[in-house]
Structure formats: structure tokens, C-alpha cells
């Protein structure tokens, strides 16, 4: 697992590229409801959590319950906070393309 910036291991171990990326990280910033979400906030979440820059590495995505449209009723029943709309939408987009 690479838990440090790439420039550190690149210099120390002559790493030129990563061949496998397990995408378990993402952003969940400025949580808002759907009505209050701005296009800029949604775009930022989708850019990081869904698109993410890659070359030719293997990309493995780790999803979450909030990224599943099928679980919306369960999330409502659990009184899940409604301020994670940009994060949830970005994870749903990730699931759609995988």
C-alpha cells in the first residue's frame, strides 16, 4: 500500500509508475443536500472520486453503500444524513461505469 506521496518512493526506489491502484480513497467535502449542491461541488467530487487521472494502470474501485441507487430506501430508513449528496453521486457514477 502506498500511503505517501509518489515523489518520496520514486526517488528512493526508482519507481516510475504504479501498475495497480486500489481506489478506496476519495473526497467528501462541503456536504450538502441535493437541492443545495452546486455544480462546482458536484464536479469536484466526480473529478476525484470517479474520473481520477490515470495512465494505463489497473484501476480497482472500492464502493460504498451510499453509492448504490438500490439502497436509497434503506438509507432513508436508517436516517442517513442527507448532506453527502456530492459524495454519493460521485460514488454512484463510479459504480455505473464499473
- Domain with 37, as residue range(s), is 7-97
Write down the pLDDT at residue 67.
85
| 3-class DSSP state of 61 | strand
Q: What is the DSSP letter of 30?
A: S
Write down the pLDDT at residue 53.
66
Let me know if residue 1 belongs to a domain: no
Write down the pLDDT at residue 2.
46
Contact 94, 61 (CB under 8 A): yes
Write down the pLDDT at residue 23.
62
**Cα–Cα distance, 19 to 2 (Å, whole number):** 12
Q: pLDDT by residue (tens digit) across 10-52? A: 677 777 777 776 666 678 887 788 888 889 988 988 888 877 7
Neighbours of 85 (CB within 10 A): 20
Structural domain count, the chain: 1
Q: pLDDT by residue (tens digit) across 39-92? A: 998 898 888 887 776 666 667 778 888 888 888 888 888 887 778 788 888 888
C-alpha cell at position 91: 460514488
Write down the pLDDT at residue 64.
84
**Cα–Cα distance, 17 to 88 (Å, whole number):** 30
Q: What CATH number does the domain containing 46 carry? A: 3.40.50.720
**Cα–Cα distance, 73 to 44 (Å, whole number):** 26
Amino acid at each position: 500500500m502506498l500511503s505517501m506521496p509518489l515523489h518520496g518512493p520514486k526517488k528512493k526506489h526508482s519507481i516510475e509508475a504504479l501498475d495497480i491502484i486500489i481506489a478506496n480513497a476519495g473526497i467528501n467535502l462541503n456536504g450538502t443536500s441535493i437541492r443545495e449542491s452546486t455544480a462546482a461541488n458536484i464536479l469536484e467530487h466526480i473529478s476525484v472520486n470517479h474520473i481520477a487521472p490515470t495512465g494505463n494502470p489497473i484501476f480497482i474501485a472500492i464502493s460504498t453503500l451510499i453509492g448504490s441507487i438500490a439502497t436509497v430506501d434503506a438509507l432513508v430508513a436508517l436516517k442517513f444524513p442527507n448532506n453527502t449528496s456530492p459524495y454519493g453521486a460521485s460514488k454512484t457514477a463510479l459504480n455505473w461505469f464499473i
